[in-house]
Amino acid sequence: MNNSIRLLPIVVILSFYFTSQAYCQYSYEPFAQSTRNFTSSINSKTLFSNNPLSFAPIRYNLPTTLQDTLSYQIITNDGNEFIGTIIEQDPQKIVLKTASLGIITIQKSNIKSMTLIASEKIKDGAYWEDHMQSTRHFWSPNGYGLKKGEAYYQNVWIFFNQFSVGITDNILLGGGIIPAFLIAGTPTPVWITPKVSFPVVKDKVNVGVGGLFATVLGESNSNIGITYGTATFGPRDKNVTVGIGYGYADGSWASSPTFSLAFISRVGKRGYFISENYLISTSDTYLFLGMIGGRSILGKGNVGLDYGLVVPISSDIDTFVAIPWLGITVPLSKPK
């Protein structure tokens, strides 16, 4: 097997880590204009933080459909979260109608923050906030990419290290290293992953093009990489991503493209089901990599814990193999 074929699986595993960092900005416009109509003090996202409001007494006489749309997340100073619609407020308190607790009264002096949210983000009385974790699969991010200034660090099995940052809402740049030099000066793989992406139909179809460009420090003629295109269909919390790419190694391009198919589906406020699959072929053999598992969002820092199995199937493999997968992703900024 020549060097191009030998290195191609490594290229694919690394490259599809950044398959779709697309622009995705959640819009509050369907109800933001109505919000501005009944108080000029309300911002379309955070109403206030740490300081109590001093609104004049006000009762909302809005159409029922509009009241149902204007939902709020209130975080109190002791860390409790309440989701509902405001039916009344004065300089001292807010009266909130919730799905689970009914009508409650919260003193403004006890409120840490209050955020206007979209009603479709409320599931069974809980607010399913967006996570940077929903922008990727195990390796390959989908079409809903990082916004400008968002960033995270990913580690898989200690050895793989990757940093990613949104340069703009449409441009992402990542870089990574496998620090093999720590083991007796072993040659060390490093790479960068630029990507440009954009929505075709907002919140429904996103596409992107990019590449992974890698080398192995300490070795000559070790340049490997891939260029690719990708498309994601569906909203941020439930979508399908397809991709196609051509890898290269030591100056030789692969004779056949690599195909990818990935799924992500949110199954709870802090849980995702994930499947990620690749088909790599050459003139005389093929390799199918199937990945299936889940993700849990942990703690207030929204750290992502990924777990699952990798199952390789090939004409050269005559036994069943299942490799455990374990990784973490740590946000380095707050969602924008």
Distances (CA, A) of 267 to 26, 123, 151, 240, 311: 20, 11, 24, 15, 23
Cα–Cα distance between 123 and 121 in angstroms, integer? 6
- Give the whole-angstrom CA distance, residue 215 versus residue 196: 22
Which amino acid is present at 188?
T
How many CB atoms are located within 10 Å of the residue 271 CB? 12
Distances (CA, A) of 239 to 167, 251, 259, 281: 24, 35, 17, 26
Q: Are 166 and 149 in contact (CB under 8 A)?
A: yes
Residue 238 lies in a domain: yes
> How many residues can be counted in the chain?
336
pLDDT of the residue at 258: 94
What backbone torsions phi and psi does residue 191 show, to the nearest 5 degrees?
-160, 160
Whole-number Å distance between alpha carbons of 224 and 43: 48
**Domain shared by 122 and 138, yes or no:** no
Overall number of domains in the chain = 2
| 214 and 290 co-located in one domain | yes
Q: Are residues 289 and 215 in the same domain?
A: yes
**What is the pLDDT, as a whole number, of residue 52?**
37
336 falls within a domain: no
Instruction: Based on the fold, state whether residues 90 and 154 are members of the same structural domain.
Output: no
Q: Residue 178 has which token pair?
A: 């496998």
Residues 110 and 35 in one domain: yes
How much is the pLDDT for 59? 38
Confirm whether 327 is domain-assigned.
yes
pLDDT at 8 over 80: no
Query: Which tens digits make up the pLDDT trace of 264-291?
Result: 999 988 899 999 999 998 878 899 999 9
CATH number of the domain within which 208 lies: 2.40.160.40
- Same domain, yes or no: 167 and 257: yes
* Residue predicted with more confidence, 11 or 121: 121
Given 93, 109, 127, the domain boundary residue is 127
Looking at the predicted structure, is the pLDDT value of residue 19 above 70?
Answer: no
Any domain includes 22: yes
The pTM of the whole model exceeds 0.75: no
Boundary (domain end) residue, out of 80, 107, 127: 127
Q: Do residues 89 and 169 share a domain?
A: no
The amino acid occupying position 44 is: S
Same domain, 11 and 40: no
Task: Report, as an integer, the average pLDDT of 37-46.
Answer: 36
DSSP 202: T
Last residue of a domain, one of 98, 127, 156: 127
Full domain range(s) for residue 309:
3-26+130-331
Q: How far apart are CA 283 and CA 116, in angstroms?
A: 56
Among 56-70, 125-139, 161-175, 319-333, the least confident range = 56-70
- Asked whether residue 224 falls in the same domain as residue 324, the answer is yes
Say if 278 falls within a structural domain.
Answer: yes
